[in-house]
Amino acid sequence: GAVVSQHPSRVICKSGTSVKIECRSLDFQATTMFWYRQFPKQSLMLMATSNEGSKATYEQGVEKDKFLINHASLTLSTLTVTSAHPEDSSFYICSALAEPSTDTQYFGPGTRLTVL
Amino acid sequence: GESVGLHLPTLSVQEGDNSIINCAYSNSASDYFIWYKQESGKGPQFIIDIRSNMDKRQGQRVTVLLNKTVKHLSLQIAATQPGDSAVYFCAEIRPGSWGKLQFGAGTQVVVTP
């Protein structure tokens, strides 16, 4: 089956620093990837849609200058949390649409970000 | 949107019994629904899906029922096992949303021996 990986799986950083999270589709190409965040005991909240070769589309209320998304190739999207603060601590999950399907999303294992 | 401040409802099930997890969806135009299982510290895992032109679909030990009249979706797990303990989310895709998933609040399933 289609596999999506994320790196790192866990990261701890100091307040004010930036953190980059990678999302890779390992055995398929993904024109579209999605980034979610999830707080404890809560559902997944879509942050943005990442499109290869174009700008990401952000959901309402998500700061695009805070959460930088780059989708430079058909197998890699990155999320950079800039000037991280403790309230950015969360579980970040990516997913990828397996072409040519536009419905089937494969999820990564998630990245636990802790900002001290 | 995000269910800030809400706790996940919990379903406690005895091992071997059947589980029924319910979900109400919001948009009558949604035409594709998926159930995901999420274990602690992991990403969501696809369980089963159903399109709006169907009202029932069966997989291995799982059945999804769709009632479009009342906008209700359910997941039935037969002979629940300890490995079924997880949080279960329903998700819907609306036409024209380019594959964006709208997740429900989730249900914590706890399987007791």
What confidence tens digit (pLDDT) does each residue in B21-46 have? 999 998 899 999 999 999 999 999 99
Q: Please list every residue in chain A whose beta carbon sits closer than 8 Å to the beta carbon of residue B101.
A: 34, 44, 46, 95, 105
pLDDT tens digits, residue range A38-89? 999 999 999 999 988 889 999 999 999 999 999 989 999 999 999 999 999 9
Secondary structure (DSSP) of B27-94: -TT--EEEEEEE-TTS--EEEEEEETT-SEEE-SSEEEEEETTTTEEEEEESS--GGG-EEEEEEEE-
Residue A99 has pLDDT above 80, yes or no: no
Least Cα separation, residue A57 to chain B (angstroms): 11
Cβ of A46 within 8 Å of Cβ of B100? The answer is: yes
B1 — pLDDT class (breaks 50, 70, 90):
very low
Sign (positive/negative) of CA torsion B59, B64, B65, B68? negative
Name the residue of chain B whose CA is nearest to A49's CA.
B100
Count A/B contacts: CB-CB distance under 8 Å: 64
Contact A43 B4 (CB under 8 A): no
The residue of chain A with its CA nearest to that of B87 is A41
Neighbours of A17 (CB within 10 A): 12
Return the structure tokens found at B25.
């969806």
Q: How far is B8 from chain A (nearest CA, A)?
A: 6
Bond before A8 cis per omega within 30 degrees: yes
Phi then psi for residue B83, to 5 deg, are -70, -10
Question: Half-sphere exposure (CA, 13 Å, Cβ side) for B110?
Answer: 6
CA B29 to CA B32: how far, in whole Å?
A: 9
B103 with A43: Cβ contact below 8 A: yes
The pLDDT of B86-110, averaged and rounded, is 91
- For A67, A76, B1, B54, the CA distances from A79, given in Å and listed in that order, are 6, 10, 20, 37
Contact between A34 and B45 using a beta-carbon 8 Å cutoff: no
pLDDT at residue B4, as a whole number: 39
pLDDT of res. A102: 64
Q: Is residue B2 scored above 70 in pLDDT?
A: no
Distance, in angstroms, between A109 CA and closest chain B CA?
4
Put simply, the answer to whether B99 touches A106 (Cβ < 8 Å) is no
CB B77 within 8 A of CB B18: yes
Residues of B with CB under 8 A from a CB of A: 1-4, 6-8, 32, 36, 41-46, 49, 89, 93, 98-106
Q: What percent of chain A has pLDDT over 90?
A: 81
Cα torsion B15, B17, B18, B20: sign:
negative
Question: pLDDT exceeding 70 applies to what percent of chain A?
Answer: 96
Strand order in the sheet with B56-58: B19-24, B72-77, B62-67, B56-58
Contact assignment for A110 to B1 by CB distance below 8 Å:
no
Q: Cα separation of B60 and A64, whole Å?
A: 41
Q: Which residue has the tokens 């969501």?
A: B44
- Identify the three-state secondary structure at position A87: helix
Most confident of B7-16, B70-79, B90-99: B70-79
Does B67 or A31 have the greater pLDDT score?
A: B67
